């Protein structure tokens, strides 16, 4: 579990521990979870020490499932854009760095499941949060290609595209069809069991995203 010290990641960890999974978590913050089947490490996904930690863990353990929960986002401030590169680094590059370390071991074992938590923001251009939307577009595109490449290798890749989930990541004045964290974990468990390439929840946001894209195109003419 990468990025599981709060939000969806923490809730997912607690749920899977009740199902008797043995879990290793990595986050930039300490975890409040105390369980004999859980071990936590502190590392930032943009730090070189993160890759070193992954390499160390891969020597000791084999992983059947890896879930990348990490995600940050801020509204664009044209007078101070210093956070823009970090959003890309954390949301996209950190995920690719994780996959690059984990997946070769899964390929060697001819089994495994890599899950990334993305967003329906991947399909929209945004003036309010361009770095977040761009990072999720790259996230979704990369995992889609990776899923195709890994299909004959016995390794599964799932990209989960959530709408608004009731966590600190949910920003903006309008948050349609807000989903509870527990409902998000229900969807995650479905993906762990069925291992789809792409999964969007709630489904009702899909036509809304398409409608917004159409309105943006019409507005640009």
pLDDT of residue 219: 55
Structure confidence by residue, pLDDT tens digits, 32-77: 999 999 999 999 999 999 999 999 999 999 999 999 999 999 999 9
Is the Cβ–Cβ distance between 70 and 91 less than 8 Å?
yes
**Structural domains of the chain sorted by starting position, each given as residue range(s) with its CATH number in brackets:** 7-220 (3.40.50.720)
The per-residue DSSP string of 121-145 comes to GGG---SSSHHHHHHHHHHHHHHHH
164-169 contacts, C-beta under 8 A, 24 or more apart: 165/7, 165/8, 167/6, 167/7, 167/8, 168/6, 168/7, 169/7, 169/71, 169/72, 169/73
With contact defined as beta carbons under 8 Å apart, do 75 and 128 qualify? yes
Confidence class of residue 204 from pLDDT cuts 50, 70 and 90? Answer: low
Interacting residues of 22 by C-beta distance below 8 A, sequence separation 6+? 37, 38
Q: What is the average per-residue pLDDT within 201-206?
A: 66
pLDDT band, residue 221 (cuts 50/70/90): very low
pLDDT value of position 34: 96
Residues 162, 181 contacting (CB under 8 angstroms):
no
pLDDT in tens, 11-26: 999 999 999 999 999 9
Report pLDDT digits (tens) over 79-91. 999 999 999 999 9
Q: Do the beta carbons of residue 160 and residue 116 sit within 8 Å?
A: yes
Tell me what pLDDT residue 171 has.
47
pLDDT digits (tens, 9 = 90+) for 130-167: 999 999 999 999 999 999 999 999 999 999 999 878 76
Q: SS3 letters for 38-98?
A: EEEEECCCCCHHHHHHHHHHHHHCCCCEEEECCCCCCCCCCCCCCHHHHHHHHHHHHHHHH
């Amino acid at each position: 579990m990468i990025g599981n010290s709060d939000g969806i990641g923490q809730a997912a960890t607690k749920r899977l521990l009740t199902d008797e999974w043995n879990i290793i978590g990595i986050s930039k913050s300490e975890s409040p979870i105390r369980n004999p089947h859980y071990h936590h490490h502190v590392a930032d996904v943009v730090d070189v020490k993160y890759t070193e930690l992954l390499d160390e863990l891969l020597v000791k353990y084999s992983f059947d499932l890896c879930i990348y929960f990490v995600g940050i986002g801020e509204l664009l401030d044209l007078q101070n854009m210093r956070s823009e590169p970090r959003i890309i680094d954390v949301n996209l590059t950190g995920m690719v760095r994780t996959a690059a370390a984990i997946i070769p071991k899964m390929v060697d074992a001819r089994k495994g499941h890599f899950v990334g938590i993305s967003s329906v923001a991947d399909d929209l251009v945004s003036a309010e949060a361009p770095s977040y939307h761009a990072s999720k577009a790259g996230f979704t595109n990369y995992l889609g290609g990776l899923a195709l490449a890994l299909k004959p290798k016995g390794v599964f890749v799932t990209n989960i595209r959530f709408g608004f989930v009731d966590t600190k990541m949910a920003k903006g004045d309008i948050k349609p069809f807000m989903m509870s964290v527990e409902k998000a974990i229900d969807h995650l468990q479905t993906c762990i069991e069925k291992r789809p390439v792409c999964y969007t929840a709630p489904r009702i946001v899909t036509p809304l995203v398409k409608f917004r894209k159409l309105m943006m195109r019409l507005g640009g003419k």
